[in-house]
A = this chain, B = another copy of it.
């Protein structure tokens, strides 16, 4: 079911909604407040309050102008809007350094994100368990994707293998690909692709250092 209000929401708004959700959880845990103003969220995160209200308007009418939001209702509405209660099964394709790091990344479970398989071509890795997750041969990709109901494939292969793996993930029917290989992957229709470039964070920090 597609929500009418969410069709034109940008990646940046989604990121901010995720940020609001985490911030509200923190505020709730540490300060025991029950109500909050959009201007509080804005100043806490150093974002324009008009932007906060605009983002929150995507999830429906929740607060009254000047009266603020109930923290609990807003948090529930945000989490539900962001489908954070939906369990996601993922597989890591390419168990090199980054792939191994992701297999052991602790915060995923907290957010209902489950890594259920790793894949590699190296016979020395195949059959091993890392963080109790089995490394399968990449030959079995299509079979395991279906058998384990894997919705997201994470590409951590070398650059040269990334496109081929993306194509196989598409054909195997994954809903989304998160690509960490240093190539830009995109499909006309499905699956959704998030291309992650770790240099971004360094470039943002550099900008802030020199500005």
Q: Which residues of A contact B (CB under 8 A)?
A: 2-3, 6, 10-12, 14-16, 18, 26, 46-48, 82-84, 86, 88, 90, 96-98, 100-102, 104-108, 110-111, 113, 151-152, 159, 175-176, 178, 182, 184, 192, 194, 196-211
Copies of this chain assembled into the complex: 2
Residue pair B10, A48 in contact (C-beta under 8 Å): yes
Shortest beta-carbon distance from A178 to chain B in Å: 5
Interface centre among A14, A104, A176, A203 (most CB of B within 10 A): A203
A206 and B88 contact, CB distance less than 8 A: yes
A14 contacts across to B, CB distance below 8 A = 204, 207-208
Closest Cβ of chain B: how far from A131's Cβ, in Å?
Answer: 10
Find out whether the CB atom of B210 lies under 8 angstroms from the CB atom of A86: yes
Contact A194 B203, beta carbon cutoff 8 Å: no
- Contact check, A84 vs B203: say whether CB atoms are below 8 A apart: yes
Inter-chain contact A101/B106, CB cutoff 8 Å: no
Please judge, given known A-B contacts A208-B192, A210-B86, whether A111 and B152 are in contact too, CB under 8 Å: no
